[in-house]
Structure 1
Amino acid sequence: MKVSFLIPLFIAFASTGAVAKNKTTYADIQVTDVDPTSDFIWQRANQNTPKYPVELARSGLRGCAVLAFNITDSGKTENVEVINTLPNKHIGKYSRKMLKKWKWVPAATEMASEKRVLRLDFCMGGESVEQAEQACKQQTKLACS
């Protein structure tokens, strides 16, 4: 079971950097279960697309991270471990920070702890939301190691 999310990111920056001043930037985050199964005990409480970290967008940083973590029997995220990250550790740092804030709700009747592995792909570019989404879907097919 592949789970994907999309969000446009509209950013106007007062400073210069990798992203041009006052330019609209389209971004997407794809969330993919690395070991998909239909027997998940927990699902994310907020199914909206995670927000692209402003710090990553300002620096024009794109990439991916694979994270392993536990969901407690009360639905909290614990023991988040960055397994792989590209192109550098900043993607993993922000992915870990983001994932630690997620809340989980039961997807099944039992309320037990669960070990999960997710891949987060951070993509920017293109001239529309659709182009950013398409680029990110292509990126998910590439290795993240």
Structure 2
Amino acid sequence: MNKTLIALLSLALIGCQSQKDKAPPSKKLNQPLNYLDFSDDQNVSKTDLYWQVKSSQHPQYPASQLSKRASGCTIITVGIGPDGNPVGYKIKKSFPEGAFDKSAIQALKNWQWEPTVSNKDRQPVLTSIKLDFYVDGSRNKREAEEHCGKRI
């Protein structure tokens, strides 16, 4: 009886293994994506060779900063996946630290990109995006411009 049970389990496992091997490579789950990393300041413009913004959302100025009349920015490293949607993010820099991060992330989650003509394979990339938060009469205008650049 034990030998029969072991033989049946072995056949079942062999059958499962042979079915797994027959699955096409594109259907396998949890395959890591190979991102091109354009997230540093010198290479961020190379993102435009692969992806263009299809839709974006301006971040909301947080009410918590309104009484402080603070200006600043958040720079986020984000992955653009093969479907053109943001895939993961990391705060690269923010000024004032943490003041605008939540609003920036909420806005970025609604961005979408489309591949350029030369990106037929929909190559995923890592890029950095700076979202500015400027308010008229800002109390920290000079510091914000030093950390974030001048407002255009």
Q: TM-score range by the shorter chain?
A: 0.5 to 0.7
Matched residue SS, 1:45: strand
Greater C-alpha radius of gyration: 2
CA distance in 1, matches of 2:47, 2:53: 14
The residue that corresponds to 1:55 in the other structure is 63
Work out whether residues 42 and 108 of structure 1, in 8 Å CA contact, stay in contact via their aligned partners in 2. no
CA distance in 1, matches of 2:125, 2:47: 13
Cα deviations by residue, 1:90-128 (Å, 9 ceiling, x for unpaired): 3112111111111111123321111101122211116xx
Deviates more, 1:53-62 or 1:109-118: 53-62
Q: Structure 2: any 5+ residue segments left out of the alignment? A: 1-39
Work out whether residues 53 and 94 of structure 1, in 8 Å CA contact, stay in contact via their aligned partners in 2. yes
Structure 1 residues 61 and 108: alpha-carbon distance in aligned structure 2, compared to 1, 3 A threshold: farther
Structure 1 residues 112 and 56: alpha-carbon distance in aligned structure 2, compared to 1, 3 A threshold: farther
Cα deviations by residue, 1:11-61 (Å, 9 ceiling, x for unpaired): xxxxxxxxxxxxxxxxxxxxxx942237531111126x7254353664433
CA distance in 1, matches of 2:83, 2:132: 27
Q: Report how many aligned residue pairs link the two structures.
A: 101
Q: TM-score, normalised by structure 1?
A: 0.56
The residue that corresponds to 1:121 in the other structure is 132
CA distance in 1, matches of 2:113, 2:64: 25
Structure 1 residues 98 and 39: alpha-carbon distance in aligned structure 2, compared to 1, 3 A threshold: closer
CA distance in 2, matches of 1:61, 1:143: 13
Work out whether 1:84 is the aligned partner of 2:93: yes
Mapping for residues 17-28 of structure 1, pairs under 5 Å: none
Structure 1 residues 108 and 115: alpha-carbon distance in aligned structure 2, compared to 1, 3 A threshold: farther
Q: Structure 1: any 5+ residue segments left out of the alignment? A: 1-32, 127-131
CA distance in 1, matches of 2:47, 2:91: 24
Matched residue SS, 1:121: strand
Cα deviations by residue, 1:65-105 (Å, 9 ceiling, x for unpaired): 11101000110101111111111313112111111111111
Report the structure, 1 or 2, having the larger helix content.
Answer: 2
Q: TM-score, normalised by structure 2?
A: 0.54
Matched residue SS, 2:101: helix
